[in-house]
Structure 1
Amino acid sequence: MKIYTKKGDSGETSLFGGTRVPKSNERIEAYGTVDELNSFVGLAASYDLSDAGTNYLRKVQELLFILGADLATPPSSKTRIDRIAAEDVSFLEDAIDHLEENLAPLKNFILPGGSQAGATLHAARTICRRAERAAVACAEADDISQECIKFLNRLSDFLFVIARYENKQAGIREETWKPDRQ
């Protein structure tokens, strides 16, 4: 299979099921941002992580592929694919609860950063928020699963918590935000 097809040279692409849409379409923006997010999660996973972090991020990357396919496939399509489900949101909630057992409760805002893995996970969280905004915009213009939006909302929380967790595992102290203004 060739990597290039030349079918997108006109500025259009195909959704699963064959419908052609402009590459500027809200649906393309949503799943394209999820693809970018998956790359950042992969970057974070390339660093030295805890065993829990490695396992969680591997599962998240698999779920992001499902999410991308879900966003690329209108619910009305006859194409059969796996879709994000309530159990995927529950997986993230359970992971957050598990990781938070090892973290001090937050009393202040913290500055994003820390270890390479932690800082990358904080960057991934911001990309996840952008993906969520893109999915909401897509839902305003087209039919998408509400589970996709719930999943992205919960995933950004997960990425924040796992960034904190990995920084703690690496022995990096969190820097609290203290505004200089009086």
Structure 2
Amino acid sequence: MSDRLTSIVTKTGDDGTTSLGDGSRIPKNDARIEAIGQVDELNSFIGLLACEKLPADISTSLERIQHHLFDLGSELCVPGYVALNEAHINFLETEIERYIGKLPPLREFILPGGYPAASQAHVCRSISRRAERSLVSLDSKEPLNDACKQYLNRLSDYFFIIARTLNQQNGLPDIFWQKDKC
């Protein structure tokens, strides 16, 4: 592998533009760059969650998801390139099914919180939703691979289930939302 990322300071972005993977330059406030940034932020928060004491199977899944998000970022960085597909979505659906059957059914909304790692999973869930909205916004201007949006939609579901699972594994119940609690 070459040392292609050894020069971090290039100064080429000092004019408010950045380079895409195809060599083109676009403004840093472009919807595509916003989407790339949202996916990057999500990946960073997943890294923070992965620093918590977690069951090995969840840690393994988180690392795989981080690789998937780099794939998604590369797809966003190179217009026309396709990296995500049905297999990525199936992975998340399988992971969701692995845990959801062990949880009590929900009849009410729950509050984010509980065990620290569960709280971090809720943060990842909400950032997944924001990243998904960013992709939908970009997709309205430049059509994207549908698998990208589907993946982020499933990913927020995954983090919701993981948050509940981590609370359950640590003996903490779901805290149900109570309307108009004063």
Q: Give the aligned length.
A: 177
Higher RCO (C-alpha 8 Å, min separation 6): 1
1:71–1:148 contact (8 Å) kept in structure 2: no
1:99–1:161 contact (8 Å) kept in structure 2: yes
Q: Residue 50 of structure 1: CA displacement?
A: 1.3
| Amino acid in structure 2 at the alignment position of 1:167 | N
TM-score for the superposition, normalised by structure 2: 0.93
Q: Residue 180 of structure 1: CA displacement?
A: 2.8
Which residue of the partner structure matches residue 148 of structure 1? 148
Question: d(CA) in 2 for partners of 1:71 and 1:35?
Answer: 11
Question: d(CA) in 2 for partners of 1:16 and 1:2?
Answer: 16
| Amino acid in structure 1 at the alignment position of 2:164 | R
Question: d(CA) in 1 for partners of 2:143 and 2:20?
Answer: 13
Which residue of the partner structure matches residue 10 of structure 2? 5
Which residue of the partner structure matches residue 20 of structure 2? 15
Aligned counterpart in structure 1 of residue 43 of structure 2, from 35, 38, 42:
38
Q: Residue 181 of structure 1: CA displacement?
A: 5.8
Which residue of the partner structure matches residue 88 of structure 1? 88
Post-superposition Cα deviations, 1:123-164, rounded to whole Å, max 9, x if no partner, equal 111111110010011111113211101111111111111111
Q: Would you say 1:65 and 2:70 are equivalent positions?
A: yes
What percent identity do the matched residue pairs reach? Answer: 43
Q: Would you say 1:25 and 2:26 are equivalent positions?
A: no
Q: Which runs of 5+ in 2 are unaligned?
A: 1-5
Runs (4 or more) in structure 1 with deviation over 6 Å come to: none
Question: d(CA) in 2 for partners of 1:73 and 1:167?
Answer: 39
Q: Residue 15 of structure 1: CA displacement?
A: 0.9
TM-score for the superposition, normalised by structure 1: 0.93
RMSD: 1.4
1:50–1:169 contact (8 Å) kept in structure 2: no
Which residue of the partner structure matches residue 138 of structure 2? 138
1:172 is paired with a residue whose SS is: coil
Q: Which runs of 5+ in 1 are unaligned?
A: none
Q: Residue 177 of structure 1: CA displacement?
A: 0.6
